[in-house]
Structure 1
């Protein structure tokens, strides 16, 4: 259930015939279809189903209160969250003839979806196939199945990361049959997939399996990217909500004689729908309390002495980075201009509205920013940090505590703390190990936007989380100047796969690598440009959309 995955070497058919990937299972819903309504959905409905996952679930969510046990809800739709989805998809422009070695670089894509939804197949390689590269997209276990860490071999945590390593092993072993070069593999991820791609830098098990990382809107250094060091309490809380650990008491350590194998056995025998409901309640509860609700579904440090299998993560990524012990791959990281607008909408609905705080002027003026600082696990005993951040991102709006006037700063601050700063920090510190470290800001507002996919929203979204994906993958039809932006962005990434740098002396603008004196970055817009002093570019972005 949650153990590390292994490669399947057996034939997929019993008689040696070709395997046809046309069964609905191969579509791999990964927590997005309900069996009751969507499992027989036609290809024509795939776009609408994908929209749900790329935006986020806004209906049929579980109330936060008065639901101590997920087993009470077995009459609700049974959501698909299955381990039968561990497949990968390959796009190649050429199949080598017998004995031929094409040696095309490989772009290995990890999808996002908040570690609980989406799957790899919809991210098709139309744009990349114009170039001599192989595109591989993968699936991995999601939610509880992908993260449960009870400190034992059967539930060691990081199953999603072990799945990623297994997929990389497959690529190393077989990608030459599709014209790929196992010695030039760039791992590209978006959102949670970007966090996972960058997480590979910090695992000794990933050493030598890839040559570069492209991270779009997600970093292992983000507060939401890695569980807190002592993550066991979060996983036990989910087990409690699933009905498998009734002894759980919030704020108390588990008893020394706790039988983690028995807890795992219960979770193993629990229906996937119950596990999903338990994780949903866990997240909703922590978000209402002013937290993030991510610690039970993201990678975690495996410090338990009871884990005897090879450990994916033995220290916090920030500690490994500080020691300079990360894998020295080439690196590109970036974020969209208003990357935090979707995330702040969750904060708005699940924290501010749920607790009737939107119109609480005293709270908005004196306590909200301090709560956000706590979420980021920063220490500010004197209040000086709160004052500086408030002056920088809110200005005079901080004085009156009116939500409407503070909204631009709240969107910008969520963008910075959630996405931009963790990505920039990784580039900045990784550059001391590998100077081929680059940062980009995706500022282009295209004809299509994921803003149009989620219906009415009280929070403006601008150039939000996910928008850049439609420029590297065929999520929307690309027209007009959007096409030129997409062509350039894909070309930068293809260059990176070939050369370890996005530059190749072509017609593209020269993308400057990290420099500690000038802090350069690529600004992707209708016309690309190089900016300097990157952190200064994060201020007042949301004023243009509010």
Structure 2
């Protein structure tokens, strides 16, 4: 991010803190949320708030003036499950109770984010509420759109399974709504210990976050027609942990039939940070020992009971005491494998890497994409901190395995040094001069290799005729970047993890709007249309000829298929102020190195 002076970036920090405070406003379904009007609402007419009736009752939304032109309708803070509090903490989600035919739910105010401690932000504090299982529905205004049933795009936010929200302050719908072509749904799910705590038994099976998402998708399938959406044309898309979630929905038996297309942005279920927890009960005991030193004597069910009594803010804060070094591993709480015998309520019945290798997943069209400096999401916070970098170099053989989620042999560790830090000394692998190589290491290990492996395995075991896969690369550099929030420094780190989100969603709490005539605004319009085109067609379509990955030819098994790159190319695309070009996504050297490592 270009920051002109210290005053400006301090102002941004204040804005971000204000956003966090605002997102805490809200709560459980109350009398103020429901207007007992005595009869169902009348159909929408000029000058009235938009109203929609679903199976749970009727909702009153609001008409919103879009950023550049026109209006759209927003129905926000809609409950899709009961608040996961009390006995429902560490339990599978329970459907929300209907509020009645003669009541109107107030869907004009957003609800709080789920309890979280976002360690990606320096000096993060615990924020949010346990009562957070709500979703938002945005649709083009009825006065402006007479298309009938529109395709539906359901967005699953990222944040490493420990942070994030569906707030319009960060994931604003304006860019999608201005097209008038789709209905957009954003949802929230439990995070961290609340979303993934498990004792390895049915009393607390785990994967609650993913089951929250499943329940939200069931809500969409059941109710979206009332909003003018087509339940047969639902595209799920997510970024980072949201992308891993999307891939796991393709794998999970619980998600069958809930969507027709999928988009995975900068993430994969094959990533090291998504490897299922091997011994969830051990982690559960460690969690309980933070509060009770004698927790080792408790039975698994007693662990669940006592941890349900802990204040949510204190429980979220306690993650600091479970990390191996600094804030690592970032994603401590993650998916677990559940026995399929658990009352047909198991989300993952085997390691997702195994399911994908076997071809045990829904064969639907899907797309994946990546950015040049994905690894900056963690690496630059370390290289920008002199003390942390010094500590890492002094304990490289112990700490690098923590960062890479793998305990390698001395030989493999040395290969890491040769590949990335050949100019470093034995006592100082990572220096200011090769700091970019540290970013490259994270990018390859946590993002590029898992994505490439996902595509390769699909080409080998999937059905690319009915489930074609498209690939994109986003390397367009604009004036804003999420790198600022990873370090709170104005340094230019290139196009980093999350930067494509700036062009898909309006984020008024984090970034200034693009001038309407700017190349950034043009890039945003192009990228949004690209995603929507996929929701319509199931393949990437902006250039011809474009070859999706296929197994029709053995060459494709080397991932020798087309990647669409959105960039600052000097060769504009159809007289537009940016570049869209075909590049080769094949990198056999990268794949071979990390395939051997992992």
- Once the two structures are superposed, the pairs formed by residues 144-543 of structure 1 within 5 Å of their partners are 144-243=193-292, 246-248=294-296, 259-282=299-322, 285-288=323-326, 292-295=329-332, 297-303=333-339, 307-308=342-343, 310-348=345-383, 353-354=387-388, 356-357=390-391, 360=394, 367=397, 372=400, 375-376=403-404, 380-381=408-409, 383=411, 385-397=412-424, 401=429, 403-432=431-460, 433-435=462-464, 436-453=468-485, 456-457=488-489, 461-475=493-507, 476=511, 477-479=513-515, 480-503=518-541, 508=543, 511-514=546-549, 515-517=556-558, 518-526=560-568, 527-535=579-587
2:167 to 113, 117, 121: 121
CA contact (8 A) 1:152 1:304 kept: no
SS of alignment partner, residue 557 of structure 2: coil
Q: How many residues align?
A: 471
Match of 2:122 in 1: 58
Point out the more displaced range, 213-222 or 232-241.
Answer: 232-241
How far apart are 1:420 and its partner, in Å?
1.9
Cα distance in 2 between the residues matched to 1:60 and 1:165: 29
Cα distance in 1 between the residues matched to 2:279 and 2:450: 21
- Once the two structures are superposed, the pairs formed by residues 87-126 of structure 1 within 5 Å of their partners are 87-95=134-142, 102-122=148-168, 123-126=171-174
CA contact (8 A) 1:397 1:405 kept: no
Match of 1:27 in 2: 111
**1:293-333 deviation digits (Å, cap 9, x = unpaired):** 523x221112497x445210111111111211122222212
CA contact (8 A) 1:494 1:502 kept: no
TM-score (norm 2): 0.71
Cα distance in 2 between the residues matched to 1:125 and 1:247: 46
1:136 to 181, 185, 189: 185
Cα distance in 1 between the residues matched to 2:114 and 2:533: 32
SS of alignment partner, residue 276 of structure 1: helix
Cα distance in 2 between the residues matched to 1:60 and 1:388: 35
CA contact (8 A) 1:94 1:178 kept: no
CA contact (8 A) 2:421 2:430 kept: no
SS of alignment partner, residue 92 of structure 1: strand
Cα distance in 1 between the residues matched to 2:405 and 2:163: 27
How far apart are 1:430 and its partner, in Å?
2.0
CA contact (8 A) 2:157 2:238 kept: yes
Give the structure with the larger strand fraction: 2
Cα distance in 2 between the residues matched to 1:106 and 1:175: 8
SS of alignment partner, residue 164 of structure 2: coil
Match of 2:128 in 1: 80
Cα distance in 2 between the residues matched to 1:143 and 1:158: 10
Aligned-pair RMSD on alpha carbons? 3.2
**1:16-49 deviation digits (Å, cap 9, x = unpaired):** 34322355xx33132369xxxxxxxxxxxxxxxx
Q: Which of structures 1 and 2 has the larger relative contact order (alpha carbons within 8 angstroms, sep 6+)?
A: 1
